Structure 1
Amino acid sequence: MSQIASHPSGKQLNLRAQVVKTLLAVQNGQSLSSVLNQHIKLVNDKDRGLYHELVLGCLRQWYSLKQVALPLLAKPLDNQALETCLYVGLYQLLCTRTAAHAAISETVNAAKQLGFESMSGLVNAVLRRATRESETFYDVLETSHGLPSWLFKRLKKDWPEHLEQLSQELKYAAPLTLRVNTRQVSRDEYLAILHEEGIEARACQISEVGIVLEQSVHIPDLPGFEAGGFSVQDEHAQLCATLLPSLSGKIVIDACAAPGGKTAHILERDEPKQLIALDHDEKRLKRVTENLERLDLAAPFVHIVTADATTWQAEEKADCIILDAPCSAIGVLRRHPDIRLLRQSTDIAQTVELQKQILNNMWQQLKVGGTLLYITCSILKAENEQQMVDFFANHSNAKEVKIEADWGIEQILGRQLLPQTGQGDGFYYCRIEKTA
């Protein structure tokens, strides 16, 4: 990787240079969420909206922008920072309303500020050519699948009929979806409150407690946020509670629970005898506690436990286990576009193995007659359908309880939801009963 020349003060870098630095951090293996707060502090308040748009947009279109840039270069740059400058410039020219002259001059200045004065002429020439031939390059951007090649191959194998639509869907932002806390307010009542405030929103199609916001809002400013009237949760993730039997009076384990959306949804619907929210990440478990307190759902029978789900032992076997297993998260690529760059082909086998270990251990913690609901936010069959085929082959005391539903795609075992425009992300569900 090319070294960026050190700059006397981060604060003097222009906005495009800040964007390039953030994108370089992701290319070097840091998740966007881990660097965002630190990086955005260096951006003026008035520029933060554009900073967000450029960072997220470039990550979404990363491999498409790469395809646009290749024919514009006589030879590969072999310079990560300069390539990133080009992508940021091309993204502005092809995907935003930024005036071409501003996009070019600001991006060229960013290259200079980052220590590439001698190469800034190349950046200028390439972006000017892209402006002249924007129609051609826009077509390349539109038709490109925009995925790393390893992922494209996997999706082609797993979803041949859905491949084209799927790769296009994954380029766009997912909608912002709320789950109404029905202990406090019905969905229709909350929709009416939003409409009274002049906020555009509509009811979800599949989830009976979900609302899609059709304009950008600052969540904490929405009516009823402090009082716990709703949570932010993807529509397809909201289906979890609808697939469970009544849990009132039962012992329930939410394995891999953080940040607590499913725990809260269960408590909004039922009153278990005991609910254990388990996760190995103590920091993320704090969010479970905060969410339950805000939603007014904290209770003496709710236990938040930091532990490793591959080895943890329950004191008393559970009637129901929700296992939202660690996964590649390819199904939520629209919300976390940095996954495009961070996830590697070799990660999948390791993740499948970890899922297997958690499944085998949690199965031991379930009562005979109990239900385990296996969930991932992946669309890769290795983590979903194939994982379940292997599990059933090795557990003669497991029986699938078919999910009868008009959503998703029926698999050999379980049901798969794919990301859909204006709707939810990619989720997989399989319901298992312990027979002996």
Structure 2
Amino acid sequence: MKQHDAIHAQAVQGQSPPLWRLLQGTAAAVQAMRQGRSLTAQLDTVPAELRPGVQALSFQVLRQLGRATALRQLLASKTPPPAVDALLCSALALCWNDELALYPIHTLVNQAVEAARQQRTTQAQSGFVNACLRRFMREREALVQSTDADPQAQWNHPRWWVERLQADHPLHWQTLLSLAQTPAPMTLRVNTRHHSVAAYQNQLTALGVSSKAVGAQGLQLSKALPVNQLPGFAAGHVSVQDAAAQLAAPLLMQEMDTQKAWRILDACAAPGGKTGHLLELYPQAHVLALDVDASRCERIHQNLQRLGLQAQVKAADAGQPAAWWDGQLLDAILLDAPCTASGIVRRHPDVRWLRRPTDSGQLAQTQAMLLKALWPLLKPGGRLLYCTCSVFKAEGDETVQAFLQRNTDAQLRPSPGHLIPGQAPASLPVDHNPMGEHDGFYYALLEKRRG
């Protein structure tokens, strides 16, 4: 369901709060994000009756915040107080383009001014907000045109992010930036222990939900559904997982006997989607799932319980094996390493504004440390699948090539490398259908040489 459709549906049912209240919540989300808080964490604090509308507006605002910030700088050369600036930028993001506007422009402006009047932190400057937005309505075409040359306004990403993509992906950087402005599709992973993909697709069709097969076990829905409306979700018949993420388990274990009791480590496992996929495909495997955050380990337990699967779950730092490793060498390791999440910015539009230019390099050091710590735990002939949901090469190809130079007992098996949204993968060494729409991802399959 599109964002404005969700808000409209509430209004039709007589449930929608006043728009000015939703704008207050949206501005608070922008202000919190600028102070370093994730949108997910901020939305958790929003009252339940406001949350759907605030989330829809916040996603739209964060996807247009580059343009809005440039416009605000033209309207007010001196930065207003944080709460006022957040409200003003939110309003501008929502009304600068008629085709993108979720409400009539005059309604947005009137309600933004009302939001300023109704809140203590902005009340004193409600006149300033009104004056800026009225001027914007009068001079909108000229003001927008004045910001067109600004890359941050044009692409709605920080300038450094645009430049990084231009350097890393000279043929695809525009595609990456454009796709980041569109909502991501909902993709399911069918648990083929219960149903074939075709059989589950028929169940969806019977409910009036169209879908298409993607990958070996995936179905991409034409419209998103609440999980409690998915047939058999509570019984583990299906999971929500992007098509790119669904490659991890089959890539790691390709050509390995599905009935053997392999010893597998899922090194950064929360929330447990890939852990569950491994056990669906290799039910006899002994899987150790780690996550450094104990509360996130509970998510792994919940997901495995829903799927009817078992793994050993530990709250531990994968980079400190002495604290958790039993000394027995492993057959396979899945390392979904911490990263900038630059490949999933469609799903998390705040990521582009939360990240800093130095983050990628710092995270690359963490990724290299994890590879160094985990490699000795692998048997000769064993495999380690390194992956990140990043499209930055510092967290993909560059990290892996540096590792290979330092470890002569490691060899790179055929691997997808960087998966670019909107581009067909060059090669995938697993059985698959066309992947459809997918997130940005990186995969490198490393094998330890025997002898």
Same fold at TM > 0.5: yes
Q: Which residue of 2 aligns with 1:428?
A: 442
Q: Which residue of 2 aligns with 1:120?
A: 126
Tell me if structure 2 keeps the 8 A contact 1:54–1:91: no
Tell me if structure 1 keeps the 8 A contact 2:190–2:200: yes
Identity, in percent, stands at 36
Q: Which residue of 2 aligns with 1:6?
A: none
Against the structure 1 CA distance between its residues 74 and 27, is the aligned structure 2 distance closer, same or farther, given a 3 Å change threshold?
closer
Q: Which residue of 2 aligns with 1:278?
A: 290
Tell me if structure 2 keeps the 8 A contact 1:252–1:272: no
Q: Which residue of 2 aligns with 1:4?
A: none
5+ unaligned residues in a row in structure 1: which ranges?
1-10, 404-413
**3-state secondary structure, aligned to 1:226:** coil
Alignment of 1:301-340 (within 5 A): 302-313=311-322, 314-315=325-326, 316-340=328-352
What whole-Å deviation, never above 9, does each CA across 1:330-352 have from its counterpart, x for those lacking one?
Answer: 11111111112211112222211
Q: Which residue of 2 aligns with 1:3?
A: none
Q: Which amino acid aligns with 1:109?
A: E
Is 2:182 aligned against 1:172? yes
Against the structure 1 CA distance between its residues 134 and 179, is the aligned structure 2 distance closer, same or farther, given a 3 Å change threshold?
farther
Range moving further from structure 2, 77-86 or 49-58 = 77-86
Tell me if structure 2 keeps the 8 A contact 1:191–1:211: yes
**3-state secondary structure, aligned to 2:181:** coil
Q: Which amino acid aligns with 1:177?
A: T
Deviation at 1:194, TM superposition (A): 0.8
Q: Which amino acid aligns with 1:110?
A: A
> Scaled by the length of structure 1, what TM-score is found?
0.87
Q: Which amino acid aligns with 2:110?
A: S
Is 2:207 aligned against 1:201? no
Tell me if structure 1 keeps the 8 A contact 2:157–2:353: no
Q: Which residue of 2 aligns with 1:67?
A: 70
Q: Which residue of 2 aligns with 1:383?
A: 395
Is 2:32 aligned against 1:30? no
Deviation at 1:433, TM superposition (A): 0.6
**3-state secondary structure, aligned to 1:40:** coil
Against the structure 1 CA distance between its residues 88 and 402, is the aligned structure 2 distance closer, same or farther, given a 3 Å change threshold?
same
What whole-Å deviation, never above 9, does each CA across 1:7-34 have from its counterpart, x for those lacking one?
Answer: xxxx998221122112211111111222
Of 116, 122, 129 in structure 2, the residue corresponding to residue 111 of structure 1 is 116
> Structure 2 CA distance, aligned partners of 1:262 and 1:66?
38
Q: Which amino acid aligns with 1:96?
A: A
> Structure 2 CA distance, aligned partners of 1:153 and 1:61?
18
Alignment of 1:351-370 (within 5 A): 351-370=363-382
**3-state secondary structure, aligned to 2:383:** strand
Is 2:229 aligned against 1:221? yes
**3-state secondary structure, aligned to 1:38:** coil
Against the structure 1 CA distance between its residues 26 and 208, is the aligned structure 2 distance closer, same or farther, given a 3 Å change threshold?
same
Against the structure 1 CA distance between its residues 48 and 154, is the aligned structure 2 distance closer, same or farther, given a 3 Å change threshold?
same
Deviation at 1:180, TM superposition (A): 0.7
Against the structure 1 CA distance between its residues 132 and 224, is the aligned structure 2 distance closer, same or farther, given a 3 Å change threshold?
farther
**3-state secondary structure, aligned to 1:208:** coil
> Structure 1 CA distance, aligned partners of 2:230 and 2:189?
13
Q: Which amino acid aligns with 1:432?
A: L
> Structure 2 CA distance, aligned partners of 1:184 and 1:137?
57
Q: Which amino acid aligns with 1:106?
A: Q
**3-state secondary structure, aligned to 2:155:** coil
Q: Which residue of 1 aligns with 2:83?
A: 81
Deviation at 1:432, TM superposition (A): 0.6
Q: Which amino acid aligns with 2:94?
A: Q
Against the structure 1 CA distance between its residues 186 and 423, is the aligned structure 2 distance closer, same or farther, given a 3 Å change threshold?
same
Deviation at 1:188, TM superposition (A): 0.9
Range moving further from structure 2, 339-348 or 86-95 = 86-95
Against the structure 1 CA distance between its residues 89 and 74, is the aligned structure 2 distance closer, same or farther, given a 3 Å change threshold?
closer
Deviation at 1:74, TM superposition (A): 4.7
Q: Which residue of 2 aligns with 1:90?
A: 92
Q: Which residue of 1 aligns with 2:427?
A: none
CA RMSD of aligned residues (A): 2.3
Deviation at 1:373, TM superposition (A): 0.6
> Structure 2 CA distance, aligned partners of 1:12 and 1:216?
24
> Structure 1 CA distance, aligned partners of 2:331 and 2:29?
46
Deviation at 1:144, TM superposition (A): 0.8
Is 2:47 aligned against 1:40? yes
